[in-house]
Amino acid sequence: MDIGYARVSTTKQDVTRQLDALATAGVASKHIYVDKKSGATRNRPGLDEALRQARPDDVIVVHTLDRLGRTLRDTLNLLHELKDRGVGIRTLADPLNIDTSNPDGPMAQLAVVMLALFAEMERTYAAERAAHARSVAAAHGRHTGRPSVVDPDKLEHALMLRDKGVPVREIVTKTGLARTTLYRHLPPRTSAAMSS
């Protein structure tokens, strides 16, 4: 039996393309499991259920190998675990054909290792590019990441209170802003102000 698994990293992403590919490949909708969670988290109920349902000679079908795990080690561990149980893996859209249900296909095994390695390398490069972009933006005085949802009027009031020497706990009470928010958004005090 073919068991389908689809995953997107956030609830805002659309899983339809993966579901359509699984349906086109002949996987029955009642045997398709879905997660809308990052591959980095171990709490993936859809994958857990797909693995629970898999029996010897079944094949877990995924759009691409990276849907199964975020790291090379996790993906290979899962593949070895499934192989020991007699369960295969087949991908639908990877550039190298993967079908581990055929034990006599050494190229399929090599493709698994290569694709998992390339996927992990791409994640590493993406993280490095993002970190570099953040450092360049910070060097030019630009904020990166999610836009602030802190009320600018409250921040201005907090700054005025702090400049008057009001203790942080009192600023928290008067503005309703959390202490961590104040430390994150207010410029550091001058040494003269800190000593008073």
For the annotated catalytic residues, the residue numbers are 9
Is residue 27 within 8 A of residue 1, CB to CB? The reply is no
Please tell me the distance from the alpha carbon of residue 34 to that of residue 25, in angstroms, as a whole number. 16
Please tell me the distance from the alpha carbon of residue 95 to that of residue 111, in angstroms, as a whole number. 9
Please tell me the distance from the alpha carbon of residue 22 to that of residue 128, in angstroms, as a whole number. 33
Helix (H, G, I), strand (E, B) or coil at 97: coil
Strand partners, 66: none
Q: Which residue has the tokens 């859809």?
A: 46
Please tell me the distance from the alpha carbon of residue 50 to that of residue 90, in angstroms, as a whole number. 14
42 contact partners, CB below 8 Å, separation of at least 6:
none
Residues 71-80: contacts with CB under 8 Å, at least 24 apart = 71/120, 72/116, 72/117, 72/119, 72/120, 75/112, 75/116, 75/119, 76/112, 76/113, 76/116, 79/112
